[in-house]
């Protein structure tokens, strides 16, 4: 067996290509890149081949999202719209906050009564931190749901939803800042909550996609 | 009413590459054929985005080959031009010929 077949392409680039390739092209695009990479390793050396692989991957990744969208535009639009409604519902209703406040109040009254300022500060800190974590977990869950529904196009759907949510957040920040510069602590909490949500929506897509890939690797099937 | 659906520039190039390659046309060979003939480095993503668009229009058809070890056990996707695709190539080619006939700019600037 030739030695070049043992040299692998850059791990992160190969992972991103695998992750973003639509189900229909899951064999052909990563396979084509690997084949040309192996050829280039034997002809021009590893360093040039790796640079070529990175260049091709970066150019290809954006287009892969476009391909995923073109293959099934209405299914992507429907899934993203559903995800957006779930996010909007989650953001507009205070049930996450209510549940967290309920748990903390229960601890306060029935387990640990507050007597000092320090304990009160601790209470406020844990209340804010719990609400933030609750929101982020909700975004992760919505990302997983969207990815599960957009079978084969998990990353296209979650990246699109993440971009839409980020655009809405940026607009909200601009409105907020132009009206009245918010308190620093509030702004930081808001930024972590909202941008973290966008990131975790995409992370939900990664989790579902990777799980499906692992299952399909165990049970190989042809497209 | 005449069919006015002409091929775009890159679509035209990709279909001509498919016709040149015959039954050897898949991502790698198409990319290399274009690079060798017109010295244009294109990404594999650009090739597949165009092929996908052509397949949706019914101009090309594709099928999976067998998995090979040098591709990490992944299959090649072979493409071929359909009858509808051939008609589109001819239509585009004739339109270009009609538009360029009688012009000496091509001779002058080549």
Mutation target vs B (from A6, A20, A32; most B CBs, 10 A cutoff)? A32
Confidence label for A4 from pLDDT (cuts 50, 70 and 90): low
- Nearest CB to B44; choose among A5, A32, A66: A32
In this prediction, residue A183 carries a pLDDT of 77
In this prediction, residue B107 carries a pLDDT of 64
User: Is B56 in the A-facing interface, judged by CB distances under 8 Å?
Assistant: yes
In this prediction, residue B4 carries a pLDDT of 65
Whether the CB-CB separation of B51 and A7 falls below 8 Å is answered with: no
SS3 content of chain B, % helix, strand, coil (to 5): 60, 15, 25
What's the rounded mean pLDDT across residues A155-161? Answer: 91
**Over chain B, what is the mean pLDDT?**
89
d(CA B17, CA B6): 17
B50 contacts in A (CB within 8 Å)?
A: none
Task: Look at residue B67 and tell me whether its pLDDT is greater than 60.
Answer: yes
d(CA B18, CA B82): 11
Percent of chain A with pLDDT over 90: 36
For A85-89, A157-161, B8-12, B80-84, which range has the lowest pLDDT when averaged over its residues?
A85-89
Task: Look at residue A54 and tell me whether its pLDDT is greater than 80.
Answer: yes
Task: Look at residue A219 and tell me whether its pLDDT is greater than 60.
Answer: yes
B74 contacts in A (CB within 8 Å)?
A: 27-28, 30-31, 34
d(CA B7, CA A55): 28
B27 C-beta neighbours (distance < 10 Å), count: 24
Mutation target vs B (from A28, A57, A74, A216; most B CBs, 10 A cutoff)? A28
Do the chains contact at B71 and A32, CB–CB below 8 Å?
A: yes
Would you list the domain boundaries of chain A?
3-71, 73-218
In this prediction, residue A222 carries a pLDDT of 47
Do the chains contact at B45 and A28, CB–CB below 8 Å?
A: no
CA distance A210 to chain B (A): 17
Confidence label for B83 from pLDDT (cuts 50, 70 and 90): very high
Whether the CB-CB separation of A65 and A20 falls below 8 Å is answered with: yes
**Per-residue pLDDT reduced to its tens digit, B7-54:** 999 999 999 999 999 999 999 999 999 999 998 889 999 999 999 899
Task: Look at residue B1 and tell me whether its pLDDT is greater than 50.
Answer: no
Task: Look at residue A176 and tell me whether its pLDDT is greater than 60.
Answer: yes
Do the chains contact at B27 and A38, CB–CB below 8 Å?
A: no
Do the chains contact at B72 and A30, CB–CB below 8 Å?
A: yes
Phi, psi of A153 (to 5 degrees): -130, 40
CA-wise closest residue to A136 among A81, A191, A209, A78: A191
Phi, psi of B84 (to 5 degrees): -65, -35
Q: What residues have CB less than 8 Å from B14, skipping those under 6 apart?
A: B30, B34, B47, B50, B51, B54
B31 contacts in A (CB within 8 Å)?
A: 32, 36
User: Is B87 in the A-facing interface, judged by CB distances under 8 Å?
Assistant: no
Whether the CB-CB separation of A150 and A186 falls below 8 Å is answered with: no
In this prediction, residue B16 carries a pLDDT of 96
A31 contacts in B (CB within 8 Å)?
A: 27, 68, 71-72, 74-76
Do the chains contact at B64 and A56, CB–CB below 8 Å?
A: no
Token couple for A25: 């092209």
Q: What is the DSSP string of B7-41?
A: PPHHHHHHHHHHHHHGGG-SHHHHHHHHHHHH---
What's the rounded mean pLDDT across residues A87-99? Answer: 72
Distance of CA A163 to the CA centre of its chain: 10
Do the chains contact at B70 and A38, CB–CB below 8 Å?
A: yes
**Complex ipTM value:** 0.86
In this prediction, residue A109 carries a pLDDT of 61
Whether the CB-CB separation of A20 and A155 falls below 8 Å is answered with: yes
Task: Look at residue B79 and tell me whether its pLDDT is greater than 90.
Answer: yes
Domains of chain B: 9-109 (1.10.10.10)
Nearest CA in chain B to A14: B72
In this prediction, residue A3 carries a pLDDT of 52
Return the sign of the alpha-carbon dihedral for residues B27, B32, B33, B35: positive
**Per-residue pLDDT reduced to its tens digit, A36-51:** 999 999 999 999 999 9
Whether the CB-CB separation of B80 and A39 falls below 8 Å is answered with: no
Indicate left, alpha or beta for A20 from its phi (over 0: left) and psi (-120 to 50: alpha). Answer: alpha
In this prediction, residue B69 carries a pLDDT of 82
- Nearest CB to B77; choose among A27, A35, A60: A27
Task: Look at residue A69 and tell me whether its pLDDT is greater than 90.
Answer: no
In this prediction, residue A106 carries a pLDDT of 66
């Amino acid at each position: 067996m030739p030695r070049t077949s043992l040299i692998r392409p850059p791990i992160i680039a190969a992972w991103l290509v695998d992750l973003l390739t639509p189900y229909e092209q899951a064999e052909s695009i990563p396979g084509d890149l690997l084949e040309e990479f192996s050829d280039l390793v034997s002809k021009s050396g590893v360093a040039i081949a790796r640079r070529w692989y990175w260049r091709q991957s970066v150019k290809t990744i954006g287009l892969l999202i476009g391909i995923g969208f073109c293959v099934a535009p209405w299914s992507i639009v429907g899934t993203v719209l559903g995800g957006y409604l779930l996010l909007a519902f989650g953001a507009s209703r205070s049930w996450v906050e209510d549940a967290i406040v309920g748990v903390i109040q229960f601890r306060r009254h029935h387990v640990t009564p507050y007597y000092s300022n320090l304990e009160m500060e601790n209470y406020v800190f844990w209340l804010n931190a719990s609400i933030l974590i609750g929101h982020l977990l909700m975004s992760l869950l919505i990302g997983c749901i969207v990815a599960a529904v957009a079978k084969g196009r998990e990353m296209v759907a979650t990246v699109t939803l993440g971009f839409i949510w980020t655009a809405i957040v940026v607009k909200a920040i601009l409105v907020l800042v132009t009206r009245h510069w918010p308190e620093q602590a509030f702004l930081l909490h808001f930024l972590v909550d909202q941008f973290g949500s966008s990131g975790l929506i995409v992370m939900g897509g990664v989790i579902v996609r990777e799980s499906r890939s692992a299952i399909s690797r165990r049970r190989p099937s042809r497209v | 009413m005449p069919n006015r659906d002409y091929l775009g520039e890159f679509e035209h190039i990709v279909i001509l590459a498919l016709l040149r390659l015959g039954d050897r046309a898949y991502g790698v060979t198409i990319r290399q054929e274009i690079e060798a003939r017109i010295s244009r480095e294109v990404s594999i993503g650009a090739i597949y985005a165009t092929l996908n668009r052509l397949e949706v229009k019914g101009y090309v058809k594709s099928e999976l080959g067998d998995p090979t070890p040098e591709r990490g056990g992944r299959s090649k996707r072979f493409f071929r031009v359909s009858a509808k695709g051939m008609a589109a190539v001819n239509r585009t080619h004739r339109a270009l010929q009609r538009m360029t006939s009688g012009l000496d700019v091509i001779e002058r600037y080549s």
